[in-house]
Amino acid sequence: MYRAIAIVIASCTLGAMAGHANPLDVRALAASCASCHPPAASLPVPLEGQPREMLASRLHGFRDGSLHGTVMPQIAKGYTIDELDALADYFAQARAR
């Protein structure tokens, strides 16, 4: 019994360490984007329904410094690569309102 519990705990810990964001975590991350990118916004940039590759490319560019901006480079550096990819997936699948 204790061995099974230890295996479950180890699996959860390794999954968290690998940076896999679950859907609830992604929604929480995406909610922080809404202060500057509200749903159906035309400015600064709408996020919902945009192509996944475009979103991921821009987020990674802000994070690695190859894309310049006023606030986004600092914000993107606070996320892991897996979190940025999860955000790109989330917004690409979201419908523009």
pLDDT of residue 7: 41
Q: What are the extents of the domains in the chain?
A: 22-93
pLDDT of residue 45: 76
CA distance from start to end of the chain: 49
For residues 22 and 83, what is the distance between their CA atoms, to the nearest angstrom? Answer: 10
Q: Which amino acid appears at position 8 of this protein?
A: V
Rounded to 10 degrees, the C-alpha dihedral 48/50/54/55 comes to 0
pLDDT of residue 13: 37
pLDDT of residue 39: 76
Class of domain 22-93: mainly alpha
pTM across the whole model: 0.72
In sign, the C-alpha dihedral spanning 78, 66, 35, 15 is negative
Question: For residue range 67-87, what is the model confidence (pLDDT) as tens digits?
Answer: 999 999 999 999 999 999 999
Question: For residue range 10-50, what is the model confidence (pLDDT) as tens digits?
Answer: 344 334 444 556 767 899 999 989 888 887 666 677 898 89
